[in-house]
Amino acid sequence: MNEFVLASSRRFVLARATTASKDRIETGGLGAAAVVPALPRQRSNRVLFLGVALAGLGALVGWFAFTSVNKQVPVVVAVRDVPLGTVLTSNDLGTSLVSADAKVATVPGRQLKALVGTVAATDLRKGALLVPSQVTTALRPATGQALVAVALKSTQLPARGLRSGDRVLVVPTPGQGGQGDAAAGDKPALAAPVTATVDRTSAVGTQGTVVVDLIVDSTASVSVSQQASTGRIALILQPRTS
């Protein structure tokens, strides 16, 4: 009996020693469970606030970039084809929202009413954005000017063609065989070249001729018209002044 009690006591002591040793290993020998310190609550709140602020800033920058690129503004457009020289009415123009670059010349939509009564300085095409240089306040020809229609063959025109606003020099040309009008006993109607401005040109006709409307000084209009009727006339393209 005593031996049984003694053996039981030894097993109990050995079990306690083993448990204590295990506890020391797990707790680093401190005899108590190690406690992991928690992060300060104030620091956690600051990190959270900073993250939210950065996310909001990124969204704001993205929205600003998107709206800047896709910003649409009202501009004036032609709502139907309008020939050069037409006095513009509210039926000729309208507005449209476009994403136009600042470098592109357009007419703001707020100026639509102010354009009524002005004159088309060139042919306007339906749906085209209006450019400031395409309208003018003066009818052509102006006082002291005259419009002369000149029918020319393709060989009498520059290869690149003529556009409204081009400056040209109207000159008489020799007759057939290189003989001048004087040799044929007839003086040329144009005693000297005349400066003119191209108002507009027609499409090529069935006989291969193009009609060019020229704005000339009224004092030279008769001479230019008479010279044009002989067919001995040519246009020399000059540099534009603007």
Give the model's pLDDT for residue 91. 93
Q: Is the pLDDT of residue 5 over 50?
A: no
Cβ-in-10-Å burial (0-12, 13-18, 19+) of 168 comes to buried
In a domain, 196, yes or no: yes
Give the Cα separation of 70 and 163 in Å (integer). 35
In a domain, 119, yes or no: yes
Q: Are residues 82 and 153 in the same domain?
A: no
Give the model's pLDDT for residue 18. 55
Token pair belonging to 108: 């703001």
In a domain, 37, yes or no: no
In a domain, 29, yes or no: no
Q: Are residues 149 and 126 in the same domain?
A: no
In a domain, 81, yes or no: yes
Cis peptide before 74 (omega within 30 of 0): no
In a domain, 175, yes or no: yes
DSSP 129: B
Q: Are residues 91 and 151 in the same domain?
A: no
Q: Are residues 120 and 187 in the same domain?
A: no
In a domain, 68, yes or no: no
Give the model's pLDDT for residue 85. 80
Q: Are residues 167 and 224 in the same domain?
A: yes
Q: Is the pLDDT of residue 214 over 90?
A: yes
Count of the separate structural domains present in the chain = 2
CATH number of residue 101's parent domain: 3.90.1210.10
Give the model's pLDDT for residue 191. 82
Give the Cα separation of 107 and 228 in Å (integer). 39
Give the model's pLDDT for residue 15. 53
Give the Cα separation of 199 and 83 in Å (integer). 12
Give the model's pLDDT for residue 12. 52
| Domain span including residue 208 | 145-238
In a domain, 23, yes or no: no
